[in-house]
């Protein structure tokens, strides 16, 4: 998940590990699109049992997603993603913060005891960080502010914020998102 061309934004520590209920779907997540139906097998599991490793599978998902994005409409707006279904409420998510501009919810495949995604509600071309326009500085700042807010709340000893960008950044969902990771000691360098 955290490999290739990534952008580490904040680095800090951990909090005591938490045993949280977690909703997960047994469907290849990068293949879930707005056109898919709700994953059939939703399971509530203990988050501590769901920690997974960055794998070639993640890299493969990123390659597939990059290809889908390249093949989508030429305006760079990208196809709908799973996050559209989360934003519309069609698919469930475990929200940790919501305001007019941003939504923060728990990652379905957590890479740390705390793994939260922060996304803009209005994608407006922000399929990836490198698509950002100058007039989007305010929303980028807001997303960063939300990331630190949820990060310091859930990980008082520190956390990491990551944005994966494009194929080499191992981005698998083309709707800008900040990963907030914590609840354990982070290592460096990432993969
Ligand atoms: O690889 P990048 O940086 O693009 O990160 C995408 C993240 O979205 C991954 O960490 C996935 O685990 C996460 N993801 C993907 C889906 C999903 C999700 N987190 C919560 N809920 C999700 N749903 C319902 N569906 C997904 N496809």
What pLDDT is stored for residue 13 in this prediction?
31
Q: Which residues pair with 118 in a beta bridge?
A: 104, 178
Distance from the alpha carbon of residue 82 to the mean position of ligand 1, in angstroms: 8
Choose between 22 and 56: higher pLDDT: 56
CA distances from 134 to 51, 120, 126, 131, 179 (A): 37, 16, 12, 10, 22
pLDDT grade for 68, boundaries at 50, 70 and 90: confident
pLDDT grade for 191, boundaries at 50, 70 and 90: confident
Specify if 190 maps to a domain: no
Residue 44 pLDDT > 60, yes or no?
no
Residue 39 pLDDT > 90, yes or no?
no
What is the domain range of residue 30? 6-182
Total tally of structural domains belonging to the chain: 1
What pLDDT is stored for residue 118 in this prediction?
99
Specify if 137 maps to a domain: yes
Specify if 108 maps to a domain: yes
What pLDDT is stored for residue 54 in this prediction?
53
What pLDDT is stored for residue 123 in this prediction?
97
Specify if 122 maps to a domain: yes
- Beta strands (DSSP E) in the chain are 6-11, 21-25, 42-46, 95-98, 102-106, 114-120, 159-164, 178-182
Q: Express each pLDDT in 76-113 by its tens digit.
A: 788 999 999 999 999 999 999 999 999 999 999 999 99
Inter-residue long-range contacts of 41-46, CB under 8 Å, 24+ positions, other chains counted:
42/92, 45/21, 46/19, 46/20, 46/21, 46/22
Which atom of ligand 1 sits closest to the CA of residue 25? 24
Q: Ligand 1: which of 2, 9, 29 to mutate, judged by most atoms within 8 Å of the beta carbon?
A: 29
The token duo for 128 is 């990836």
What pLDDT is stored for residue 15 in this prediction?
34
Specify if 104 maps to a domain: yes
Distance from the alpha carbon of residue 32 to the mean position of ligand 1, in angstroms: 9
Specify if 23 maps to a domain: yes
Which atom of ligand 1 sits closest to the CA of residue 86? 24
Q: Which residues are catalytic?
A: 177
Specify if 40 maps to a domain: yes
Could you tell me if the CB of 107 is within 6 A of ligand 1? yes
Q: Express each pLDDT in 122-173 by its tens digit.
A: 999 999 999 999 999 999 999 999 999 999 999 999 999 999 999 999 999 9
Nearest to 162 by CA among 87, 105, 111: 111
For residue 164, the domain's CATH number is: 3.30.428.10
Distance from the alpha carbon of residue 164 to the mean position of ligand 1, in angstroms: 12
Specify if 187 maps to a domain: no
């Amino acid at each position: 998940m955290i490999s290739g061309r990534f952008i580490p934004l904040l680095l800090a520590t951990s909090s005591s590990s938490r045993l949280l209920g977690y909703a997960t779907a047994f469907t290849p997540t990068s293949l879930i699109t707005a056109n898919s139906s709700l994953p059939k097998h939703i399971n509530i599991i203990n988050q501590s049992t769901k920690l997974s490793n960055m794998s070639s599978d993640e890299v493969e998902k990123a390659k597939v997603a990059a290809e889908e994005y390249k093949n989508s409409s030429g305006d760079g707006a990208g196809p709908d993603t799973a996050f559209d279904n989360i934003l519309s409420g069609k698919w469930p998510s475990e929200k940790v913060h919501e305001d007019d501009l941003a939504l923060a919810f728990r990652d379905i495949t957590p890479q740390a005891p705390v793994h939260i995604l922060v996304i803009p509600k209005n994608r407006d071309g922000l399929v990836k960080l490198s698509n950002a326009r100058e007039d989007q500085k305010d929303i980028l700042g807001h997303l960063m502010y939300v990331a630190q807010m949820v990060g310091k709340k859930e990980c008082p000893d520190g956390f990491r914020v990551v944005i994966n960008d494009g194929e080499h950044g191992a981005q698998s969902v083309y709707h800008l998102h900040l990963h907030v990771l914590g609840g354990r000691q982070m290592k460096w360098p990432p993969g």
